[in-house]
Structure 1
Amino acid sequence: MCVKERRVVDNLYLVKDDSQLVAFRDFVLRNTEKLEAYQSFLKNELAVYDLPQAIIWSGFNAATQIIREIPVPAYTNNRRMVMTPDLTVWKELYLYQLMDYECSQQTQAIESHYHSLSENFLLQIVGHELAHWSEHFSDDFDGYDSYIWFEEGMVEYISRKYFLTEEEFQAEKICNQSLVELYQKKYGWHSLNDFGSSTYDKNYASIFYEYWRSFLTIDKLVENLGSVQAVFDSYHLWANTDKTLPLLNWFVQQKLIEKEI
Structure 2
Amino acid sequence: MKPIYTFEIADDLNKYHADITYFHTQIKDFQKYLEDYFQLKDIPNGVFWTSRFVMEEVLEKPVPAFTRDEAIYMCAVQDYWAQYFIALLPESLKDKYTSYYSEHTKDEMLAILGHELAHHIDLFLAEFDEEHPTCEDMWFEEGMATYLPRKFFFDDELFNDIYHLEKSLYEYYLNEFGDLPLEHFTYDIYSHSKEYIMFHYWMSFIKVTQFVSHVDGDVSRLFKLYHDWDTEGRKISLSHYFETHI
TM-aligned CA deviation for residue 22 of structure 1: 1.1
- The equivalent of 2:114 in structure 1 is 127
Q: Give the counterpart letter for 2:126 in structure 1.
A: D
**Per the alignment, in what secondary structure is the counterpart of residue 138 of structure 1?**
coil
Aligned counterpart for 1:174 among listed residues 164, 167, 180: 164
- Superposition RMSD in Å: 1.8
Q: Does 1:92 align with 2:61?
A: no
- The equivalent of 1:70 in structure 2 is 61
Distance change in 2, residues 1:27/1:112 (3 Å):
closer
The answer to whether the 8 Å contact 1:121/1:163 transfers is: no
**Per the alignment, in what secondary structure is the counterpart of residue 70 of structure 1?**
coil
**Per the alignment, in what secondary structure is the counterpart of residue 43 of structure 2?**
coil
Measured in 1, the distance between the counterparts of 2:22 and 2:233 equals: 47
Distance change in 2, residues 1:120/1:114 (3 Å):
closer
Q: Does 1:238 align with 2:210?
A: no
Measured in 2, the distance between the counterparts of 1:188 and 1:33 equals: 41
TM-aligned CA deviation for residue 146 of structure 1: 2.5
If the length of structure 2 is used for normalisation, what is the TM-score? 0.92
Give 5+ residue unaligned stretches, structure 2: none
Distance change in 2, residues 1:143/1:253 (3 Å):
farther
Distance change in 2, residues 1:143/1:40 (3 Å):
closer
How many residue pairs match? The answer is 242
Give 5+ residue unaligned stretches, structure 1: 1-8, 257-261
- The equivalent of 1:3 in structure 2 is none
**Per the alignment, in what secondary structure is the counterpart of residue 71 of structure 1?**
coil
**Per the alignment, in what secondary structure is the counterpart of residue 119 of structure 1?**
helix
- Farther off after superposition, 138-147 or 201-210: 138-147
- The equivalent of 2:100 in structure 1 is 113
**Per the alignment, in what secondary structure is the counterpart of residue 133 of structure 1?**
coil
- The equivalent of 1:160 in structure 2 is 150
TM-aligned CA deviation for residue 118 of structure 1: 4.3
Measured in 1, the distance between the counterparts of 2:51 and 2:241 equals: 41
Measured in 1, the distance between the counterparts of 2:71 and 2:23 equals: 19
- The equivalent of 1:204 in structure 2 is 194
Measured in 2, the distance between the counterparts of 1:120 and 1:112 equals: 13
Percent identity, aligned pairs only, is: 25
Aligned counterpart for 2:48 among listed residues 41, 51, 56: 56
If the length of structure 1 is used for normalisation, what is the TM-score? 0.87
TM-aligned CA deviation for residue 220 of structure 1: 0.5
Aligned counterpart for 1:40 among listed residues 32, 54, 72: 32
- Farther off after superposition, 107-116 or 44-53: 107-116
CA shift digits 1:76-127 (9 cap, x unpaired): 11111100122211111112223xx4x32x3421223222224221111100
Measured in 2, the distance between the counterparts of 1:180 and 1:48 equals: 30
Measured in 2, the distance between the counterparts of 1:189 and 1:31 equals: 36
CA shift digits 1:152-209 (9 cap, x unpaired): 0001000111122322211111111110111012332111101011111111211111
- The equivalent of 2:179 in structure 1 is 189
CA shift digits 1:127-169 (9 cap, x unpaired): 0000111111112698621220100000100011112232221
Measured in 1, the distance between the counterparts of 2:26 and 2:54 equals: 26
The answer to whether the 8 Å contact 2:190/2:197 transfers is: yes
Q: Give the counterpart letter for 1:177 in structure 2.
A: K
Distance change in 2, residues 1:47/1:159 (3 Å):
same
The answer to whether the 8 Å contact 2:212/2:219 transfers is: yes
**Per the alignment, in what secondary structure is the counterpart of residue 117 of structure 1?**
helix
Distance change in 2, residues 1:29/1:112 (3 Å):
closer
